Structure 1
Amino acid sequence: MIDLFSKVRASEINLLPYDGEVNYYGRLFSSQQASHYYDTLFHHIEWRNDEAVIFGKRIITKRKVAWYGDMEFEYTYSNVTKLALPWTKALLELKAVAEQKTGETYNSCLLNLYHSGEEGMAWHSDGEKDLKKNGAIGSMSFGAERKFSFKHKQNKQIVSVILEHGSLLVMKDTTQTHWLHRLPPTKLVTKPRVNLTFRTIVL
């Protein structure tokens, strides 16, 4: 757990004990601002049910996704390729906040819409060839608070954090090489969550 009474800012604390860096910045917006962005993203993003091809079979998930970027970037994961849509005004505003807070730059964003806690994400790492190697991924959350976990690929150590409404978490350096992450499902959460993951695609 982060000691909020420490003189060191929470965002300067690496949540991982080794082999990577994850910084949690906490809430960046007031409740009113966060709710405004949540409503805007929920209603005005071009959401589509996510797809995956597993052992040659196409799977359609309940979770919805959207892919935006500086240009029509192709992004392939789970054997499915997506073509980036042009940025919306709200996404550009949020990208600017993420860049200002983290000192990083991003050229694309993969969004996820989880309708309730029963929708989650299995253990994985974001190591697709389209992504900048060891580049930063800024994860911004709106809506229901959810637990987010990391598991070391070798010794299986687990580190978890609660992602708050209007918060930012950044994964960088060798995190994707050595750690898996997931959004565990839970029946305790009944409200939706919108997650933005700002990324850098390398052409």
Structure 2
Amino acid sequence: MNANGSLRVIERFYSQAECEGIYKSFILDHDWPINTYTVGERCFVLPRLQTWHADSGIRYSYRYNLLETRPWTPLLTGIRQRVEAYLNISFNSVLANLYRDGNDYVGWHADDEPELGERPIIASLTFGTARNFAFRHKKLDRQGEVVLTDGALLIMHPEFQRDWQHSLSPDSGIGSGRINLTFRKVIAP
């Protein structure tokens, strides 16, 4: 992995036993709606399940689609506190994604929306099946990937969002699910 030092992975941020319990809780107790998004006048179904949780008054949109803000759950609050304590950074929101199997994905993008400010730091946690996190430079012919395993914490520093795009490509060989939580600090309007 080489993205000019703008990515950092902490393997086993959560133990295997913790991961199993957290994943099970998300599958059994978390409401995962089918989400749609609009591009121009066309409506599409998001190729994964997703919820957005944030402090009161925090709103977030990407690709001009405003996400419905939900309150923090006790599980998300506990995870948030652990990540914040480890990184000594405060976050006010989390995007929770359920990739049901290898057919679910997220295309190339950078988390560089104006609501995230000029120098966003994003902490991304994986629970469940390992998936390849790919990245490519926005201007140079450089790319890479890292496998994000169960319990791994990925820290994307500000330079990563500025200089790189990332994706989670479809992989028909994967038959099991993955939960991904991306903690962010949204700048309130």
TM value normalised by structure 2? 0.93
Which of 118, 122, 146 lines up with 1:137 in the alignment?
122
Q: For structure 1, which segment, 188-197 or 65-74, has the greater mean C-alpha deviation from structure 2 after superposition? A: 65-74
8 Å CA contact 1:107–1:200 kept in 2: the answer is yes
Per the TM alignment, residue 155 of structure 1 is displaced from its structure 2 partner at its CA by: 1.1
Per the TM alignment, residue 72 of structure 1 is displaced from its structure 2 partner at its CA by: 4.2
C-alpha distance after superposition, 1:54-86 (max 9, x if no partner):
132111124110000111422111221113211
| Separation in 2, partners of 1:120, 1:137 | 19
| Separation in 2, partners of 1:127, 1:180 | 10
| Separation in 1, partners of 2:8, 2:86 | 11
Unaligned stretches of 5+ residues in structure 2: none
Which of 69, 73, 76 lines up with 1:88 in the alignment?
73
- Per the alignment, residue 4 of structure 2 pairs with 17
Per the TM alignment, residue 128 of structure 1 is displaced from its structure 2 partner at its CA by: 1.2
TM value normalised by structure 1? 0.87
Assess, with a 3 A threshold, how the Cα gap between structure 1 residues 40 and 53 changes in structure 2: closer, same or farther.
same
- Per the alignment, residue 137 of structure 2 pairs with 152
Answer yes or no: is 1:27 the counterpart of 2:18: no
8 Å CA contact 1:112–1:194 kept in 2: the answer is yes
Unaligned stretches of 5+ residues in structure 1: 2-14
- Per the alignment, residue 187 of structure 1 pairs with 172
Q: Secondary structure at the match of 1:16?
A: coil
Q: Secondary structure at the match of 1:130?
A: helix
C-alpha distance after superposition, 1:117-160 (max 9, x if no partner):
11111110111121132121000010110000110011131121
Answer yes or no: is 1:196 the counterpart of 2:165: no
RMSD: 1.4
Q: Which of the pair has the greater relative contact order for Cα pairs under 8 Å at 6+ separation?
A: 2
- Per the alignment, residue 97 of structure 1 pairs with 82
| Separation in 2, partners of 1:108, 1:156 | 33
8 Å CA contact 2:47–2:105 kept in 1: the answer is no
Q: For structure 1, which segment, 58-67 or 71-80, has the greater mean C-alpha deviation from structure 2 after superposition? A: 71-80
| Separation in 1, partners of 2:44, 2:61 | 15
1:43-62 alignment, distance < 5 Å? 43-62=28-47
Identity %: 28
Q: What one-letter code is carried by the residue in structure 2 that aligns with 1:137?
A: I
- Per the alignment, residue 91 of structure 2 pairs with 106
